[in-house]
């Protein structure tokens, strides 16, 4: 398989130039495990680990390879290789890592399109779709909403309208892997050399959709629980799958917890309808509370904006503000510890 078939382009070729003539080669991460990675190269798929120097120089989880990354490797002539660097990412879908630490977790990288997969059965949740949309816009890739399991729902038109109201301008497709409805429409996103990531909660049917698009069962599929339609983690590790006609598909684990990671730009893109009215407020820093001539409050009272959607907007804004404060505190503590260490060394040397 040549690199172009894996999504290699002029951008990555340019970033790889410093490594030319040094015995290195390039490959793309197809799967991520604990401390090990599968990397697809022109010579086949290799098991790889990061070099000691790279491990030492990383500042957090975001600096380690993720599925979709282009990496600089050595030892590509055998079955194992060593990863020395990650080429700059053109796009990345990230979330805050679960737990109390404020660290970025990259789920998939170098993707052109994100299929945000949501089931149409009892697990259908527009508020969750908004969260995915926020992170999709932050990623730099183009979001496409896939409403899956159409065969299990009889009010698909209404649910499609509900999603359309919270995702202005975003393509929406209603599909079923049972009867094949809507699947042909997805082919336009799966061009040769293009990478599409499937993202969604457990039980949304991502692995089943992967198998349908691939034309054979390559991803394991589990049944959802009958009581609440919640799914088990069918895909436990992200995986990049080359499709027969040249597109690349990244199936990701179901995300039960989707904590935000990003900036106000993603919020503005996700809630463009609210931002439209916010720009008409009298004050640039209007909080849409008790300020006079607030266009957002007026739109809410006139029914031009949905109250539930506005509450979701406020909740996500508060999460981003909290995340920003936590990041600033951690940065302050890290700098304080750094200078404390420097002064300790200085005093030690001064008294010699």
- Give Dmax (Cα) for the chain: 81
Indicate if the pLDDT at residue 231 is higher than 50.
no
Model confidence at 225, in pLDDT bands (50, 70, 90)? very low
- Rounded to whole angstroms, how far apart are CA atoms 52 and 282? 56
- Most confident option among 132-146, 183-197, 316-330: 183-197
The mean pLDDT value for 20-41 works out to 92
Sequence-separated (6 or more) residues with CB below 8 Å from residue 303: none
Structural domains in the chain plus CATH codes: 3-86 (2.40.50.140), 92-251 (3.40.50.300), 264-328 (1.10.40.50)
Q: What does each C-alpha distance from 341 to 7, 298, 329, 344, 346 come to in angstroms?
A: 45, 55, 18, 5, 9
Task: Please give the pLDDT value at position 348.
Answer: 55
Q: What's the pLDDT tens digit per position in 297-350?
A: 999 998 888 888 888 888 887 777 766 665 544 444 444 454 455 555 545 555
The number of C-alpha atoms within 13 Å of 293 and in the hemisphere containing its C-beta is 7
| Total length of the chain | 352
Contact 194, 113 (CB under 8 A): yes
Q: Provide the token pair at 12.
A: 């990555």
Contact 51, 93 (CB under 8 A): no
Indicate if the pLDDT at residue 228 is higher than 70.
no
Model confidence at 262, in pLDDT bands (50, 70, 90)? low
Contact 67, 28 (CB under 8 A): no
**Region of poorest pLDDT, from 37-46, 116-125, 187-196, 291-300:** 116-125
Q: Which residues is 38 bridged to in the sheet?
A: 31, 47
> What letter would DSSP give residue 294?
-
Helix (H, G, I), strand (E, B) or coil at 266: helix
Indicate if the pLDDT at residue 137 is higher than 70.
yes
Contact 113, 59 (CB under 8 A): no
> What letter would DSSP give residue 230?
P
Considering only CA atoms, which of 4, 61, 68 is closest in space to residue 31?
68
Indicate if the pLDDT at residue 185 is higher than 90.
yes
User: Global pTM?
Assistant: 0.75
Rounded to 5°, angle at Cα 251 from 31 and 242: 70
Model confidence at 290, in pLDDT bands (50, 70, 90)? confident
Q: Provide the token pair at 150.
A: 């159409």
- Rounded to whole angstroms, how far apart are CA atoms 265 and 125? 23
Q: What's the pLDDT tens digit per position in 69-98?
A: 999 999 866 678 999 999 999 998 887 666
Indicate if the pLDDT at residue 254 is higher than 50.
yes
Residue entry with tokens 């059965």: 121
């Amino acid at each position: 398989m040549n690199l172009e078939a894996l999504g290699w382009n002029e951008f990555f070729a340019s970033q790889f130039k410093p490594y030319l003539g040094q015995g290195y080669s390039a490959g793309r991460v197809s799967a991520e495990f604990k401390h090990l990675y599968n990397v697809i190269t022109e010579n086949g798929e290799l098991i790889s680990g990061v070099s000691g120097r790279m491990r030492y120089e990383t500042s957090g989880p975001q600096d380690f390879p993720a599925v979709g990354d282009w990496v600089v490797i050595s030892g590509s002539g055998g079955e194992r290789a060593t990863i020395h660097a990650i080429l700059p990412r053109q796009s990345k879908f990230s979330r805050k890592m679960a737990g109390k630490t404020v660290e970025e977790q990259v789920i998939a990288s170098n993707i052109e399109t994100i299929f945000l997969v949501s089931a149409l059965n009892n697990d259908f949740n527009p508020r969750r779709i908004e969260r995915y949309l926020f992170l999709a816009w932050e990623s730099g890739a183009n979001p496409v909403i896939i409403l899956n399991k159409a065969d299990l729902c009889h009010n698909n038109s209404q649910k499609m309208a509900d999603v359309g109201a919270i995702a202005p301008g975003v393509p929406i497709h209603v599909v079923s892997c049972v009867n094949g409805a809507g699947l042909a429409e997805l082919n336009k996103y799966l061009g040769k050399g293009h990478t599409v990531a499937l993202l969604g909660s457990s039980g949304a049917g991502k692995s089943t959709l992967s198998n349908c698009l691939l034309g054979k069962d390559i991803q394991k599929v589990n049944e959802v629980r009958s009581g609440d339609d919640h799914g088990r983690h069918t895909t436990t590790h992200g995986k990049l799958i080359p499709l027969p006609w040249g597109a690349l598909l990244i199936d990701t684990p179901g995300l039960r917890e989707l904590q935000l990671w990003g900036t106000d730009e993603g919020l503005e893109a996700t809630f463009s309808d609210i931002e439209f009215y916010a720009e008409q407020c009298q004050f640039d820093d209007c909080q849409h509370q008790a300020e006079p001539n607030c266009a957002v409050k007026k739109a809410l009272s006139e029914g031009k904006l949905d109250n539930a959607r506005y509450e979701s907007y406020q909740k996500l804004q508060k999460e981003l503000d909290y995340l920003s404060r936590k990041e600033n505190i951690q940065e302050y503590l890290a700098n304080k510890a750094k200078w404390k260490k420097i002064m300790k060394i200085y005093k030690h040397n001064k008294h010699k």
